[in-house]
Structure 1
């Protein structure tokens, strides 16, 4: 169980790039990183493309005004001059900027935590991985939902053979908040998400389903996709060629089949994030809207609902427990869990503790590259007339 005691010798000096007042995700980063105040200390930031607004915001969240910078290049340069300069930065900017910022940070000797999707191409991902390894740095990816500990319970039960051989994988991440084009007209954060030059080759496949795909890989690390078929639509026509809805069929190497639905035009839906794994003996199902519960359905037996924080759960699940079973946990706690693991990974990398890095389960650079590969294969299939393609 986690209670805020330090897991590393001292908090890491941390800076943010993006994630300011008008951003949608910056607060999630800060609540995650600062939940355990023994892991990170926010000391600097380039929070906004508008320097004055960024400085005003930084001061209002407690950052020294002299360390609120107009852009990331200035921040990296000036912080490098300080004995107490940043050691790690989080990148919470639009997709099209991730590669250049990540590269600059690594070249300056900083660890990196980056929003998803990581980059536009897997080639860029491999280049950044090589650079990170050369400089002895960690690159983490903020698949925030993956910090929900009941996903680790699913992983453990599958490893232990509790559901038998996996046959069917059912994934869904949908909502209805973009059922019309209103959001693009009123929100800068939504506007760039449907601009291919900034968002990349996809909208909901990258913005939503990369979360769910990584979570499935976390739960089933031995399951590899052999081929897939992606059919995507732009129901709001101005978003074309980017999709606001997509269906993906998958064939796995072990003979299992899978289906994923991702959408931002599921009108009336506020939280349609679900994972169901069907085995030869039993099934497991988890919903983001009920993150503290896991359904375990054994053929021929009453349905069980496993509750977060209980002693009957696997130790790898309960290691991330924070509040006790009586009290609900949610997305903020999930972000805190992955940020704490980022801190542990960075500390281990600094000490060349290879055993900790080998055994630590967190969204690392390989997870980020796999997410890019997922998007690339889905787009390739869709552009080939929704045809089956080998997973490359």
Structure 2
């Protein structure tokens, strides 16, 4: 159980690029980083493309005015001059900026926490991985749902053989908030998501389902995709070539099959985020709308509902719980869990403790690259007429 006691010697000095007053995701980062005030301390930021608005916002967060910078390059340069300068930066900006900011941060000697999808191509991902290794730094990816403890319970039960051999994987992340083009016209956060120059080669595949794909790999680390087929649509035609709905069929190397549905035009849907793993003996199912419950369905037996934080759960699951079984947890605790693991990984890296870094389960640079590669294969299939493609380390997409 987590109770706020320090897991590292001192809080890491942390800053943000983006995540300002008008952003949708910045507060989630701050909830995650600052929930355990023993892990990170917010000391600087380049919060907004508008420098004055960013400064006003940062001061209202309690950041010193002279450490609210007009842009990330100025922040990295000025913080490097300070004995108490930044150690870690989070990047909460549109997709098309992730690569250049991450590279600049690593070159400035900073650990990085970056929004997903990490970059446009896996080639960029491999380049940044090499740079991070050279610099001795951690790159984490904010797959914010992946800190839900019951996902680790699913992982443990599968490893223990509780559901038998995996046969089918059902993944879904849908909502209906883009069922019309209204948000495309009036929401700054939506406008860039449907612009391929900024968002990259996908909309909902990158924005939504990379979360769910990573969660499936977290739950089933030994399940590798052999081939896939992606069929994607732009029901709001102005979004083309980016999709607002997609289906992905997957064949795994062990003979299992998978299906993923992702959509922002699932009209009326508030929260369609679901993972179901079907084995030869039993099935496991988790819904984001009921994150404290895990359904365990053994063939021929009554359905069981496992509840977060109960003593019958695996130790790996309960190690991350915060409030006790009587009180509900959700997305804010999930973000807090992954941010705490980022801090533990960064502290271990600083101390040369590679064993801790190796054994820690969290969304790292490899998870980010894997997500990019999954998108690349999905786009390759869709652009080839929604045909089956062998899942491999394919050349980067030509985005020109």
Q: Does TM, normalized by the shorter one, top 0.5?
A: yes
Look up the match of 2:110. 110
Look up the match of 2:398. none
Aligned structure 1 segments of 4 or more residues deviating by more than 6 angstroms: none
The number of residues matched between the two structures is 392
The residue correspondences of 1:180-329 to structure 2 (distance < 5 A) are 180-329=180-329
> Which secondary structure does the structure 1 equivalent of 2:246 belong to?
strand
What CA deviation, in whole Å up to 9, does each residue of 1:130-174 have, x standing for no partner? 000001000000000000000000000000000000000000000
CA distance, structure 2, for counterparts of residue 328 and residue 207 of structure 1: 27
The residue correspondences of 1:166-181 to structure 2 (distance < 5 A) are 166-181=166-181
Q: CA deviation at 1:249?
A: 0.2
CA distance, structure 2, for counterparts of residue 25 and residue 175 of structure 1: 17
Q: CA deviation at 1:385?
A: 0.3
Look up the match of 2:92. 92
> Which secondary structure does the structure 1 equivalent of 2:126 belong to?
helix
Matched, 1:119 2:119: yes
Q: CA deviation at 1:354?
A: 1.4
What CA deviation, in whole Å up to 9, does each residue of 1:192-248 have, x standing for no partner? 000000000000000000000000000000000000000000000000000000000
Look up the match of 1:13. 13
> Which secondary structure does the structure 1 equivalent of 2:275 belong to?
strand
Q: CA deviation at 1:29?
A: 0.0
Q: Which runs of 5+ in 2 are unaligned?
A: 393-400
RMSD: 0.3
Q: CA deviation at 1:185?
A: 1.2
Q: CA deviation at 1:355?
A: 1.3
CA distance, structure 2, for counterparts of residue 141 and residue 391 of structure 1: 22
Matched, 1:68 2:64: no
Matched, 1:158 2:161: no
CA distance, structure 2, for counterparts of residue 340 and residue 82 of structure 1: 25
CA distance, structure 2, for counterparts of residue 232 and residue 262 of structure 1: 9
Look up the match of 1:138. 138
Look up the match of 2:396. none
Q: CA deviation at 1:341?
A: 0.1
CA distance, structure 2, for counterparts of residue 72 and residue 197 of structure 1: 21
Q: CA deviation at 1:186?
A: 1.3
Q: CA deviation at 1:331?
A: 0.1
Matched, 1:48 2:32: no
CA distance, structure 2, for counterparts of residue 144 and residue 87 of structure 1: 22
Look up the match of 1:370. 370
> Which secondary structure does the structure 1 equivalent of 2:228 belong to?
strand
Structure 2 length normalisation: TM-score?
A: 0.98
The residue correspondences of 1:356-367 to structure 2 (distance < 5 A) are 356-367=356-367
Look up the match of 2:387. 387
Matched, 1:330 2:325: no
CA distance, structure 2, for counterparts of residue 214 and residue 352 of structure 1: 27
> Which secondary structure does the structure 2 equivalent of 1:189 belong to?
helix
CA distance, structure 1, for counterparts of residue 77 and residue 61 of structure 2: 22
CA distance, structure 1, for counterparts of residue 269 and residue 355 of structure 2: 43
> Which secondary structure does the structure 2 equivalent of 1:56 belong to?
helix
Q: Which runs of 5+ in 1 are unaligned?
A: none
What CA deviation, in whole Å up to 9, does each residue of 1:299-328 have, x standing for no partner? 000000000000000000000010000000
